[in-house]
Chain A
Amino acid sequence: MKRTLPLVIVFCSGILLIIQHFIPSEESEFLYTYALDWIITVGVYAIMLGIWSLIRVTVNKARRDPGERFYAITTLAGFSFMVLTGWRAESLHAGSIFMTAFNYILIPIQATIFSLLAFYVASASYRAFRARSALATVLLLTAFIVMLRLIPLGPISKANNWLVGWILMVPNLAASRAIILGVGLGMIATSMKIILGIERKYLGGD
């Protein structure tokens, strides 16, 4: 029963939502709205579970590993601070403690960390883009042409822009479309396996 009931719920929900997609009527729209409401409600509980999990894992880490204690306390302090200062609608107005913390702590932290990526990219491209083989040469030339698009080269710029457009709209598009179609078919296959109860890993255990 413990395993059969979830399988029945998944099967019925999946089949019903597939059917309603292909039958546009008032009843099917009601069913669709009702299902979305349910998913949001379940999602809200998942957030609570996530918060509980974060607190539990962090507290355990602080207890067990003295080396991690400082980071664990910082995580919990940051989490508590943002929750306490940001739970009211007014906290979103400019000048509030929440928005001040967001603007002057979170934004600089994230922007700085991401900016460092430019240095790693420069170093990595220096080491990786070498014409070691025919395929590597193709990659190197493509990267070179695409990067040149951002540099003003006078009369060459127009031809280069056209070439970049061609690269993006022909070879890149062909490869991307193949990947997208493959992923899409894979998603359909996985969904069907879940709905029909063939794939049961989400239930835990085997």
Chain B
Amino acid sequence: MFTEVQGPTTTAAAAVVVGPAGPRARRRPRSAWLPYLYILPAVALLLVWTYWPLVQTAGLSLQDWNLIPTKPKTFVGVEKYQKVLSLPELHQALANTVAYILAFLGISVALPVLFALLSRRVQGRARTFYQALIFVPFLVTPVATSAVWRWLFAPESGTIPAIATTLGTPMGNIFRDPDSSMLSIVVIVGWQMLGFGVLVVSAGLAGISPDYSAAASIDGASQRQITWRIVLPLLSPSLVFLALMTILLSAQWTYPIIDLVTQGGPGNSSTNIYYLLYQFGFRNFDAGLSSAAGMLFFAGFGIVAVIFVELSEKLSFHDN
């Protein structure tokens, strides 16, 4: 007669269940609210500094108020939205912002890719040194940056106009010329932002296994083919992230420089949407107009952000 050999699971499993179940059951009630406690500080800060002001801004955008606490706020509906959309200053600021973004996409996305790819040819410690050199401007505060560049571009005694004069192309005061004021902002902010781009791109490149390039070169690909067909596609998630950062933050990055160097002038030629928003609110004391503009920008950038997040989801490859 055969008897079946029993597996060890039945008794062992019973033992396992009986053992830890006791203490775990006792611990459960406390662990239910504990996780929420952990995230509470972050949530509280977000609520206080981001979401509550957002709600207030949305409220203000429907009201007429001149920021004086004793003056009453009057509800005006979407009137402020209609007004802000019809203002020529807003159209100019929007056009400028788009121009700034395009310029910075070049400076803080395209140029860093070029620099990072080139600096890969430098080996060892020298490479770190080069990258540090490019990154350092990012750490300088915008106020100091503006001061230094104002000296460099000073029409009477500045180094750059002096060189330009020697070369036979006197440049005058570029901050006071409507044709060049925006360019000067692009140069100053671009100089600061380049390092950030190089940092992100270098980190992205470092995350790509060198095996892919090695495999491609044995497969017969030239350096050019490896860059275009292997490295850049694998780098694209980093590039999407960098482009998103550039689009969302370039208006903020330019704000302090605009304020310190040109105040948006001459004649709004170098202003951008955030600077305009600031002017509406704190120069013209029109809280409703400023808030309406702010809400519109929030919605616009929100849509851009969603598109990019979707894009980066699609592009991200799980390196294994």
A and B form one complex: no
Which residues of chain A have a CB within 8 Å of any CB of chain B? Answer: none
